[in-house]
């Protein structure tokens, strides 16, 4: 009951925000919800399976470019382009998973980072199609999905909320499923999970593909909702961001990715209004949180007040 109240209450607050927030925060929260979906995808791999990836920007960019290029060069409808972006991310995640999961620990981190960098350089190399660092804009007429104009602020917010709600509830269902429990068992003790008869490689590959698919869906949605596709989203910093968001919000919690994304987004946004050294302020706050709330915001809530927080 408490789980329903917490996650349902969050969705109710976000729905209320569509009607009461000022225009600026209305737009910011729509962006945060989409990026929180990206963080939720990362959380499946890192928070629940215990695999630390430094290459998730590859999946985000695969979804974004799969959708963007299909619209700008293929002339397909946004709905079909969204599906192409999702399938692109799933295919890339499956290929990377088969290769990267032959390694473990630090080697896994390095391999995922190398693949992500290869993806970033590929985008730059095919600049005639991708427009490289400059990127390209998706016009409003190209962003009409099922009769709804995604360039409209209210429609964009509603679409971001629907996507976030679906992914958050899907993650909650995953955590309670047999597959999700096996992932947690692998995170805690992979050898013991293998001794109990579970195919740990297959489960980890499933986690990589699922994580990559959710991240690609976030990238595809970001391109459609905000009308821009650029190589920045394939760079190293966009592989580091979801890690920070998940650590800040609480790894292995359903609500953590949203809390971490929201906190860090507004921390940088507010501090940049006072000083050009806003990253220094953000760094100090992040260090303080690491020292005094090492399990993240939702993780501390779980540790102190609610042991059963999913």
In a domain, 6, yes or no: yes
**Would 246 be classed as within a structural domain?**
no
Indicate whether 228 belongs to any domain.
Answer: yes
C-alpha–C-alpha distance, residues 259 and 282, integer Å: 16
Q: Over 70: is that where the pLDDT of 140 sits? A: yes
Q: Is residue 274 part of a domain?
A: no
Instruction: Name which residue leads in pLDDT, 270 or 203.
Output: 203
Of 4-18, 108-122, 269-283, give the lowest mean pLDDT range. 269-283
Q: Which two tokens stand for residue 30?
A: 């729509």
Q: Is 294 within a domain?
A: no
- pLDDT tens-digit series, residues 212-242: 999 999 999 999 999 999 999 999 999 999 9
> Is residue 265 included in any domain, yes or no?
no
From the centroid of its chain, how far is CA 196? 32
Separation of alpha carbons 292 and 302, rounded Å: 15
pLDDT in tens, 266-309: 888 888 888 787 778 878 888 888 788 888 888 777 777 777 67
pLDDT of residue 308: 67
Q: Can you give the residue range of the structural domain that contains 32?
A: 2-235
Whether 46 is covered by a domain: the verdict is yes
Q: Mark out the alpha helices in the chain (DSSP H runs).
A: 2-20, 23-43, 57-72, 78-100, 106-125, 127-130, 153-176, 178-188, 190-195, 200-226, 237-249, 256-271, 278-292, 296-304
Share of the chain above pLDDT 90, in %: 70
153 forms beta bridges with none
Summarised one tens digit per residue, pLDDT across range 161-189 is: 999 999 999 999 999 999 999 999 999 99
Cα–Cα distance, 224 to 77 (Å, whole number): 11
How many structural domains compose the chain? 1
Give the residue, 138 or 213, on which the prediction is more confident.
213
pLDDT for 299 = 78
Residue 44 lies in a domain: yes
């Amino acid at each position: 009951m408490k789980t329903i109240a917490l996650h349902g209450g969050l969705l109710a607050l976000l729905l209320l925000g569509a009607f009461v927030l000022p225009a600026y925060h209305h737009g910011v929260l729509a962006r945060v919800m989409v990026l929180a979906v990206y963080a939720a995808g990362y959380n499946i791999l890192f928070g629940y399976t215990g695999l630390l990836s430094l290459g998730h920007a590859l999946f985000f960019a695969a979804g974004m470019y799969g959708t963007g290029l299909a619209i700008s060069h293929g002339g397909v409808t946004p709905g079909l382009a969204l599906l192409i972006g999702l399938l692109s991310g799933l295919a890339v995640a499956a290929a990377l998973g088969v290769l990267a999961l032959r390694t473990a620990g630090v080697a896994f981190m390095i391999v995922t980072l190398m693949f992500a960098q290869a993806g970033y350089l590929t985008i730059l190399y095919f600049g005639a199609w991708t427009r490289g660092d400059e990127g390209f804009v998706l016009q409003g007429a190209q962003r009409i999905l099922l009769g709804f104009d995604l360039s409209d602020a209210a429609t964009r917010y509603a679409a971001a909320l629907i996507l976030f709600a679906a992914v958050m509830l899907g993650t909650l269902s995953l955590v309670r499923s047999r597959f999700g429990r096996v992932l947690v068992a692998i995170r805690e003790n992979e050898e013991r999970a293998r001794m109990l008869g579970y195919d740990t490689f297959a489960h980890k590959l499933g986690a990589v593909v699922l994580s990559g698919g959710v991240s690609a869906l976030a990238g595809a949605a970001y391109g459609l909702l905000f009308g821009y596709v650029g190589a920045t989203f394939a760079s190293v910093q966009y592989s580091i961001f979801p890690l920070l968001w998940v650590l800040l919000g609480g790894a292995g919690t359903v609500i953590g990715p949203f809390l971490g994304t929201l906190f860090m987004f507004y921390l940088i946004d507010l501090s940049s209004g006072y000083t050009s050294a806003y990253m220094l302020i953000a760094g100090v706050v992040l260090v303080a949180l690491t020292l005094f709330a090492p399990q993240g915001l939702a993780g501390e809530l779980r540790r102190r007040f609610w042991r059963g927080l999913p």
